[in-house]
Amino acid sequence: MPKSAPSKSLPPISYDAALAELEQLVQGLENSQLPLEGMLTSYQRGAELLGACRDQLAAVTQQVKVVENGQLKPWIDAP
């Protein structure tokens, strides 16, 4: 039975940096100047970046939901 490759976790990256890189990847894919393997690699990286952006947006959304009496409570990341 073949072993599955270990999942790579994206190193911490700011939302703005992830979004900028994602925009560059999309532009490269739209221009289709990459070979097929390069397009696949770019697509995979884009999916990772999209996931990181979604995670950060979800964390911010959760933080906004904890607003009580006009005060933002600190959001504690679940273990």
The model's pTM: 0.67
Q: What residues does 39 pair with on adjacent strands?
A: none
Of 20, 10, 19, nearest to 57 by C-alpha is 19
- 29-58 residue pLDDT tens: 888 777 889 889 999 999 999 999 999 999
> Residues 6 or more apart from 46 whose CB is under 8 A from it?
22, 25, 26, 29
HEC string of 53-76 equals HHHHHHHHHHHHHCCECCECCCCC
